[in-house]
Amino acid sequence: MSHEYEQVEVPADGEHITVDENDELVVPDNPVIPIIHGDGIGTDVGPAAQAVLNAAAEATGREINWMRVYAGEAARERYDENLPDDTVEALKEFRVSIKGPLTTPVGAGFRSLNVALRKKLDLYANVRPTYHLDGVPSPVTAPEKMDMVNFRENTEDVYAGIEFEAGTDEVQQVKEFVEEEMGFDSTIHDGPVGIGIKPITEFGTKRLVRRAIEYAIANDRDSVTLVHKGNIMKFTEGAFRDWGYELAEEEFAEETITEDELWDEYDGEAPDDVVVVKDRIADNMLQQLLTRTEQYDVLAMPNLNGDYLSDAAGAQIGGLGIAPGANLGEGRVLAEPVHGSAPKYAGQDKVNPSAMILSGRLMLEQLGWHDAAELVRDAVEAQISSKRVTYDIERQVEGGEKLATSEFADEIVERIHDLA
């Protein structure tokens, strides 16, 4: 039964996205899709993304019925709270949604509104494709070599929020337990100390790695790399690596081989239609992003590693202003750009909406609308290559012409019409 929404309207003409017995999305041609414009520049990039995604859907014979819902500042104005039930229930009921950046205010009751949404919806996989678009300035000499997809575990690791503040009774209890009962003598220095706990579970690891391998198989990718610091954190990140290999052997034995098998049995030449599962130490992986970029396809990693690696990869293709992302659960999708809310630019019709638009492209892919998704990518790339761009790119390219956020989006819409 549909939730009774207090301050938002459900589009009358749209249909629900549902799931089948395998939790796979069943998508009509006229779905209802909730959207959170977000805080700060969300008021600019949200409408811009809607216009572009509308055009791509219509060009392929479909229609998106947008359902505007609220979080952050806009929610406080309407509900006097940051994350109202209306919003959470809409994201649950309609399954696929998109949001702009959110700022968690001091004293909000959440460590992060973004993290709160992921936990409430059990969106356990943060997915960030990283690829270069022609015309985007980059600090590296060959940005086109970057074409990888990062799968970051979203619910565990040090981001689980199990922390104890210096000076509290709780942190002293944890310190005494670690040193006196567990025998880690002199591990923690005297004086004020903050302590965090880092859970990595077999369940959380395997569902993340499963999603990464399934993506690699479905999208004809050559490899999945488990990124970890298991040489030091042997029982957390080392376990992540071991459970990842175990999952590949248990569930994908016919579709995967290990890197050792690649060299021992195939002399380094992988058979067709086989995904190579390998692993790299996290600090070494940061180097290899730069030095051996083209050797990596899909990365799967714990939460903190995924945060670092995704941003580092994004820098190589031009920065977070064009970096898309999405959070995936079982039969659920919440697309969102990687960048923050940049409140000093809010409402100025100035900023680059490409990250929000390309996050929408990722959402279209999850809907199975691959033709519409490719229209979006091709139109954004053509627009950037034309040098008629927003200020952040215009100031870096010779002969550039500066456009407002809305003008940039309008010209992408025109290009979609032309390409279709």
The answer on whether 68 is annotated among ligand-binding residues is: no
124 is in an annotated binding site: no
Q: Has 107 been labeled as part of a binding site? A: no
Whether residue 131 lies in the annotated active site: no
382 is known to lie in a ligand binding site: no
Whole-angstrom distance, CA of residue 115 vs CA of residue 138: 30
Given the residues 159, 206, 215, 350, the one annotated as active site: 159
- According to the annotation, is 280 in a ligand binding site? no
Is 341 known as a binding-site position?
A: yes
| DSSP secondary structure letters along 258-315 | EHHHHHHHHTT-PPTT-EEEEEEEHHHHHHHHHHSGGG--EEEE-HHHHHHHHHHHHH
The string of DSSP codes covering 319-356 is -GGG---EEEETTEEEE--SS---GGGTTSS-S--HHH
φ and ψ of 278, to 5 deg: -140, 175
- Establish whether 307 is a catalytic residue: yes
Q: Judge whether 339 is annotated as a binding position.
A: yes
Report d(CA 334, CA 114) in Å as an integer: 10
Q: Which of 99, 206, 229, 350 is catalytic?
A: 229
- Record the tokens describing residue 333, joined without a space: 């999708």
Q: In which order are the strands placed within the sheet that holds 256-258? A: 65-68, 32-36, 96-99, 332-335, 326-329, 125-131, 147-153, 298-301, 223-228, 275-281, 256-258
Q: Kindly name the residue from 283, 349, 378, 410 that is annotated as catalytic.
A: 283
Give the span between the Cα atoms of 203 and 181, in whole angstroms. Answer: 28
Q: How far apart are CA 207 and CA 304, in angstroms?
A: 17
Are 155 and 119 in contact, with CB atoms under 8 Å apart?
Answer: yes
345 annotated ligand binder? yes
Residue 95, marked binder: no
DSSP 15: B
128 is in an annotated binding site: yes
User: Do residues 346 and 38 make contact, with C-beta atoms less than 8 angstroms apart?
Assistant: no
Strands 298-301 and 125-131: unpaired
Strand partners, 227: 280
Q: Is 112 annotated as a binding residue?
A: yes
Query: 10 Å Cβ neighbour count for 57?
Result: 25
Is residue 260 among the annotated active site residues? Answer: no
The label of the residue with tokens 């060299």 reads 263
Q: Helix, strand, coil proportions of the chain in percent (round to 5)?
A: 45, 15, 40
Active-site residue (options: 86, 242, 279, 307): 307
Question: For 268, left (φ over 0), alpha (ψ -120 to 50), or beta?
Answer: left
Does residue 220 carry a catalytic annotation? no
| Catalytic annotation, residues | 159, 229, 283, 307
Residues within the annotated binding site for Mg(2+)? 307
Residues within the annotated binding site for D-threo-isocitrate? 112, 114, 118, 128, 152
